[in-house]
Amino acid sequence: MNSIFVASGIILSFTIFLCLYRVVYGPGVENRVIAVNTIGTKTIILLVAIGFILERPIFIDISIVYAMINFIATLAIAKYLKGGCIR
């Protein structure tokens, strides 16, 4: 069972680097924001997989907090890009 989580972790790490390429060389700001959000989402899944591999449930709590921060940051950046200020 752990080999499935290890394999998915390796694949997720590879796709995170593919999204990082989009962040650096993206055609526009919107594409870069979406790529950063995708990296955050994949990092959350990777944290949960690491928690299952190491049998540490604290990683699930950490991933939930990281998901909330990722969601709020994405909303703040989108609002800033739309209106120019965050209020």
Q: Tell the burial category of 1 from Cβ atoms under 10 Å away from its Cβ (0-12, 13-18, 19+).
A: exposed
* Distance, CA of 32 to CA of 73 (rounded, Å): 14
Give phi and psi for 26, each to the nearest 5. Answer: -65, 150
Q: Reduced to 3 states, what is the DSSP secondary structure of residue 28?
A: coil
How many separate domains does the chain show?
1
- Asked if residues 63 and 51 have their Cβ atoms less than 8 Å apart, the reply is yes
Give phi and psi for 53, each to the nearest 5. Answer: -65, -45
Q: Reduced to 3 states, what is the DSSP secondary structure of residue 4?
A: helix
Enclosing domain of residue 54: 2-83
pLDDT reported for residue 70: 94
- pLDDT (tens, 9 = 90+) of the chain, 87 residues, equals 778 888 988 999 999 999 999 999 989 888 999 999 999 999 999 999 999 889 898 999 999 999 999 999 998 998 888 887 766
